[in-house]
Structure 1
Amino acid sequence: MSARKQAGNQGGRPRDSRVDVAVAAAVRELLAEVGYARLTMAEVASRAGVGKAAIYRRHATKQEMIFDVLLPDSFLATAPDRGSLRADLAAVLAEVVDGMAAPPPGTIPGLLADIHADPALRARFEEKYLHAQRRTLTGILDRAAARGELAARPDPAALNALLVGPVFAWLFLLSESPERLPALTSALLDAALALAAPGAGRES
């Protein structure tokens, strides 16, 4: 969290959750209407019916605002427990796919470019997105090991790359249709199981 954001939240009146809801709705609407590059804090404030000061108390920059809207604190907050390694990984992959495919075209590539240009935002991205995924995958692998499903325990970072990288490439490098993602995710799950449990059969 940025120093400006921390300072804005210390003391004073409690934050009004209605403002957060209105701002998030405005961000999503404007991303669909004008796109990531053209969206401004002033437009969000006007659409949400709040003052710009209310937004700046919550988000130091446009990029931080969009990041917080698209990546809520609930993202992969807990490791899913669906009874098998394949089912747990499928639940993680579904959440990752939704996070990439749901925003309007151009949003994710634009935001990632800005994240990598801002050290503070990049640090938040790593903690809230990358580290969250790896903590969740570590929890899933721990449970799979306890169930006796693992013949080999993969590196969570490698497993993370295997699940996320192809989805990013599919959507943003190859510009393939999100509607064809189910076939890709099924193949990714097969590959993940081969990495995590060589020789194991597929589990439903």
Structure 2
Amino acid sequence: MKSDPASARAGRPRDPHIDASVLRATLAVLDDIGYGRLTLEEVARRADTTKPAIYRRWRTRQHLVLDALASRLGGAEAPDTGCTLCDLNEGINVFVAAFRRIPPGVLAPLFADCSAVPELRDAFMRTLFDPPRAAVARMLDNAQARGDLRGDIDRDLALDMLGSLVHYRVLFGHAPITADDVQHAVEALLGGIAADYPALVAHSQDVMSGDHLHP
């Protein structure tokens, strides 16, 4: 998802080849030297273009980096197998794997740069955090429609509880996120909001053919 459909400046028609080259160059710079040392001059050099050409497409360095990261993360799909425990476990692991493709030490300083400017903060959230949150929301909605969740759950709170594990550890990098961490977080949440948690566990064990998730 692009950071802002209006982030490019008006002017002559954009050459999509230049756009793609600049995004690739931006990712290469992030991988090589990180966000703090990224300059538009270096991106332009690697993309074989000019700094003015970049500014015609992206208003700020932050908009450029957000679009580059979005191109690496790809879309946020919501699994829908009919197994609530399986779907949440798989879906969140997919998001974790996507965020691992962002070089360490990029998200925290990027967020610090964006947080003081409302437009940039909104672009950061819209680009990097809203898509996976919406996908998890769809999984919870599907589960509730199947009758797997209680009717009185606070969906936003459930989303925050699941998302906080990924967001907090990705932003601050104080601990890794393992598949076991995701599994335990999903189990802990569903243990509190499922209509019949033991039935969900039994169903997941049947679906996964012996790969056990703990009740």
Where on the TM-score scale, by shorter chain, does this alignment land: which range?
0.7 to 0.9
Count of aligned residue pairs for this structure pair? 198
Aligned-residue Cα RMSD (Å) equals 2.7
Question: Does the CA contact (< 8 Å) of 2:34 and 2:103 recur in 1?
Answer: yes
What letter matches 1:188 in structure 2?
A
Structure-2 residue corresponding to 1:28: 27
Unaligned runs of 5+ in 2: 209-215
Structure 2 contact 78–135 (Cα < 8 Å) conserved: yes
State the one-letter code of the partner of 1:5.
S
Judged with a 3 Å threshold, the aligned counterparts in structure 2 of structure 1 residues 27 and 128 are, in CA distance, closer, same or farther, namely closer
Distance 1:105 1:61, change over 3 A: same
| 1:160 matched residue in structure 2 | 159
Taking the aligned partners of 1:5 and 1:172, their CA distance within structure 2 comes to 24
* Residue matched to 1:5: 7
3-state DSSP of counterpart to 1:103: coil
Does residue 1:110 correspond to 2:109, yes or no? yes
Of the three residues 187, 192, 202, the one matched with 2:189 is 192
TM-score (norm 1): 0.81
Could you tell which deviates more after superposition, 36-45 or 137-146? 137-146
Alpha carbons of structure 1 residues 82 and 16: separation in structure 2 relative to 1, 3 Å: farther
User: Is the contact between residue 93 and residue 179 of structure 2 (CA under 8 Å) also seen in structure 1?
Assistant: no
Is the Cα contact below 8 Å between 1:31 and 1:104 reproduced in 2?
Answer: yes
Sequence identity percentage: 30
Shift of 1:30: 1.0
Q: Residue in 1 aligned with 2:94?
A: 95
**Could you report, residue by residue, the CA deviation over 1:9-56 in whole angstroms, capped at 9, with x for unpaired residues?**
x5632x332222212221121112111100011100110112222221
TM-score (norm 2): 0.78
Greater Cα radius of gyration, structure 1 or 2:
2
Q: Which amino acid in structure 1 is aligned with residue 190 of structure 2?
A: L
User: Which residues of structure 1 form unaligned runs of 5+?
Assistant: none
Letter in 2 for 1:197: A
SS in 1 for 2:103: coil
> Paired residue for 2:85?
86
Change (3 A) 1:2 1:138: closer
